[in-house]
Structure 1
Amino acid sequence: MRTSTRTLTRRGMLGLGAGAAAAAGLAGCGTGSHTSSDGSHQAGGSGEPSPSGSGRPPAKPIGDGSTSYTGKQPHQPDAPVPLEPGETPPQFVVFSWDGAGEVGNGLFPRFLDLAKEHGAHMTFFLSGLYLLPESKKRLYDPPNNPRGASDIGYLTDAHIKDTLKNVHRAWLDGHEIGTHFNGHFCGGTGTVGNWTPAQWRSEIDQAKSFVKEWRTNTGWTDLPSLPFDYDKELVGGRTPCLLGQDNLLATARELGWRYDASSPGGRQVWPAKKDGIWDLPLQQIPFPGHSFEVLSMDYNILANQSVNSTKAPAHHYPGWRVQATNAYISGFKRAYETNRAPFFVGNHFEEWNGGIYMDAVENVIQHIAREKEKGGGQDIRLVSFRQFTDWLDVQRPEVLARLRTVEVGQRPAGGWSTFLKEAPTPSGNVA
């Protein structure tokens, strides 16, 4: 019997929503961390050395030199292959970060270091405004909102530079740079939930331009270019507060996007396409001590623990840290031991309630890494959304359709060797 699910909607930046218990999903913009001192992760613009000093080709500037072509992205997994008949599917785990800004709290490089330690890849949904100086805010023309308006704060110049450094490193470490769009409008008449496909196109074009033209907008000539072509890199995103997906998808399809991570609360089952785009939602996971489930995002756990307060009394923190950790571990374990549905987790670079949600994410990454080592490293894969989409795209449609028949917490009838061995082939015969 399914339990009810309690999810809360985050409006605006920090706890502006009333948080009624049965609201839809949520998302937000996270920032934070100190700058990395490892200059080896910096790729050059015109006339600068090759990325990482590793023998990669010299950077070829694109446009004004804000971005550049530096060759194939390093540290990528082997090319995906279709599942063999009777093969157990891998357990995919995707950790993603909304906003992906750097404001000196040490969180962006903390998780880059952690990912490197455990051979994990992640997705960073960069907010375009985090590369636009506040002095140039009138360059942003948000749909249904005043020019220059934003429901998240613009970063200081120093923090924009820190964000550039960490995004730069993230891509060279093998992570994906997606988009969290720009102004994060979640309420009122200007909410992203009301935007038309044409308005989403304007928002995306602007988000891309802020990444591709940060050098022009800032006037900074002494910083290295970002080491990727954002027109090719950007294949998916997550909308503010998980709103507006229906109208976004038409535009995403026109732009050639491959997935969207904006569905407001999915279940732990194998994904399907929606309007031609892979629909990869945050998921309902067990919430220890409660009969309802919680969305697999740091802010949603916070909202259920402290009713949207981001600075509750500190005596709650130890217990809440354990509860948040166990919620994530329970979600991972349920999938890993049953239907092997991919496990998606959403986060923000924030130190809400003493940073306990960041500790919980680190704890669960370490837990999953230990489980990965037990299995020899092959049946658990910590990947980005783009890498997971690469895997989905090479699977036989009839195999994926069969995987989708296994419900939350259910094991395949007869075990994987029997269940997928009997998957029909395209001709209609049994494999």
Structure 2
Amino acid sequence: MHSLRKAPALLAVAALAAGAVACSAAGGSGSGTGSAAGSGPGAAPAVGRAEPGNAGTRPEAAAPHAVRLIGDGSTADTGPQPHQPVFTRLKPGERPPQLVVFSWDGAGEDSQKLFSHFREVGERYNAAMTYFLSGVYLLPGDHKDVYAPPKHPRGASDIGFNDRQGITDTLRELRLAWQNGSEIGTHFNGHFCGPNGGVGTWSSDEWSSEIQQAEGFVKNWKTNSGLTKLDPLPFDYSKELVGGRAPCLEGQHNLIPAAKAAGFRYDASSIGGRQTWPSKIDGVWDFPLQDIPVPGRAFETLSMDYNFLANQSGTVHGDPAKQAAWGKQMHDGLAAAFERAYNGNRAPLFIGDHFESWNGGVYMKAVEDTVKEVCGKEGVRCVSFKQVADWMDAQDPAVLARLRTLDVGQAPKGGWNTFMGGAPAAATAGGPERIRPAVR
């Protein structure tokens, strides 16, 4: 990408404090992950060769498979994805695992080399992640007219396009991330926000066009770039692509019908979600960014690096003397969000980030420290959104309905054994409630 990125226009700090809006702007470089963490007592059944209690054991890799090139050879069917957990239903009385998702918007490798860095971090700490790839990161600028964005001229993009070195580097990281067990989702293409032709103004048909083009740029990068000697991506993107996050978290209402028609299993575009158990919108799992604590402040904000930035400095280059404190505030906010779920209702924790060095890179350090601290804990699984959908789909719907009766930070009054043993939810879901700060 190499300087193709633009700093997103900052949104109103007051609105961000309320968790009302967020800039899910294009990230530039990045990193990835490895595989889902194993299980401990109270977690879901063990994965691969993992035995109960081995929280750091990786699922075993898939057996060798004949490679089948697809289309122009940009992608290939290489068999089942390695290092994928196999989820089964919770047993009566069993406490749910604590699922944690680290996700990256606009994932691509540039001169910051953050994609490669976090991919290695994820592998080291058994953390599968979700990389939301912007399709234009595989489209060279001299072929930009291939892109026909809704409500904008052909060849337009608010995040520019890539060069061939950036495409080559990004492809390398996508291959390795997928082989390590992580998910390649979509951040769509041109990252258009706001009322003047932004994604929030698009119809479902326009979203369908955007999805088809995002998939097409991945499936035809050799044709578009001329980099025909490079290895293919080791997956069939028509099957791999099962979810995404919309730019600036806009437009979910009309996106959902298009996403469902495209075979998406989840959408991660909604805002202002709470740390409670997810549900579906018209058959598509809704995995929102969540309101989480801002330590030292009387409000919560969305679980994304950009939202902490907007509430702290309001600029990507704030006062250097304050940057360390800002990074600590984000780290402590993530830690507080984790602890209230882990010791409370065990709802999945969703964290969104960008491969950016905003405010001296303090948000990247906060995320990395959080990965190190939580992914090896007993009963914790750091997984991709796709794997969360797998886990949710494997459960008894009645059990999921019971879990949804638990409020933010609320552990079952009678303990997990009683709560998950079939007792009526109304009799067991009481106990002290955590009152959310008034932020709206």
Query: Counterpart in 1 of 2:178?
Result: 171
Is structure 2 residue 272 aligned with structure 1 residue 265?
A: yes
Query: Counterpart in 1 of 2:79?
Result: 71
Is structure 2 residue 184 aligned with structure 1 residue 187?
A: no
Q: What is the letter of the counterpart of residue 388 of structure 1?
A: V
Query: Counterpart in 2 of 1:249?
Result: 256
**How far did 1:275 drift?**
1.2
Q: Distance in 2 between matches of 1:17 and 1:365?
A: 27
329, 337, 340: which one pairs with 2:343?
337
Q: What is the letter of the counterpart of residue 289 of structure 2?
A: L
Query: Counterpart in 2 of 1:38?
Result: none
**How far did 1:57 drift?**
2.7
**How far did 1:361 drift?**
0.2
Q: 1:299 to 1:128 in 2, by over 3 A?
A: same
Q: What is the letter of the counterpart of residue 75 of structure 2?
A: T
Q: What is the letter of the counterpart of residue 29 of structure 2?
A: G
Query: Counterpart in 1 of 2:415?
Result: 415
Query: Counterpart in 2 of 1:25?
Result: 21
Is structure 2 residue 228 aligned with structure 1 residue 235?
A: no
**How far did 1:188 drift?**
3.5
Q: Distance in 2 between matches of 1:241 and 1:250?
A: 19
Show the 5 A alignment for 1:32-431. 32-33=29-30, 56-77=64-85, 79-307=86-314, 309-370=315-376, 372=377, 375=378, 379-422=379-422
Match of 1:167, SS? helix
Contact 1:34–1:162 under 8 Å retained in 2: no
Match of 1:198, SS? helix
Q: Distance in 1 between matches of 2:231 and 2:126?
A: 26
**How far did 1:394 drift?**
1.2
Q: What is the letter of the counterpart of residue 223 of structure 1?
A: L
Q: Distance in 2 between matches of 1:407 and 1:424?
A: 16
**How far did 1:362 drift?**
0.3
Contact 1:399–1:423 under 8 Å retained in 2: no
Contact 2:303–2:350 under 8 Å retained in 1: yes
**How far did 1:22 drift?**
1.9
Instruction: Give per-residue Cα distances to partners, 1:291-322, cap 9 Å, x unaligned.
Output: 10011001111111111x00112111111111
Contact 2:193–2:248 under 8 Å retained in 1: yes
Contact 2:62–2:81 under 8 Å retained in 1: no
7, 10, 13: which one pairs with 1:14?
7
Q: What is the letter of the counterpart of residue 367 of structure 1?
A: E
Q: Give the alignment's Cα RMSD to 1 decimal.
A: 1.8
- Structure 1 window deviating more from structure 2 (251-260 vs 61-70): it is 251-260
Contact 1:102–1:162 under 8 Å retained in 2: yes
Q: Distance in 1 between matches of 2:189 and 2:176?
A: 22
Instruction: Give per-residue Cα distances to partners, 1:348-385, cap 9 Å, x unaligned.
Output: 10111111110000011111035x1xx2xxx1111000
Q: Distance in 2 between matches of 1:412 and 1:280?
A: 23
Segments of 5+ residues of structure 2 without an aligned counterpart are 33-60, 426-440
Q: Distance in 2 between matches of 1:275 and 1:400?
A: 17
Contact 1:100–1:349 under 8 Å retained in 2: yes
Match of 1:337, SS? helix
Segments of 5+ residues of structure 1 without an aligned counterpart are 1-11, 36-52, 426-431
Q: TM-score, normalising length from structure 2?
A: 0.86
Q: 1:324 to 1:274 in 2, by over 3 A?
A: same
- Structure 1 window deviating more from structure 2 (392-401 vs 148-157): it is 148-157
Query: Counterpart in 1 of 2:438?
Result: none
Match of 2:132, SS? strand
Residue identity (%)? 54
Contact 1:180–1:239 under 8 Å retained in 2: yes
**How far did 1:33 drift?**
5.0
**How far did 1:251 drift?**
1.1
Match of 1:413, SS? coil
Contact 1:125–1:238 under 8 Å retained in 2: yes
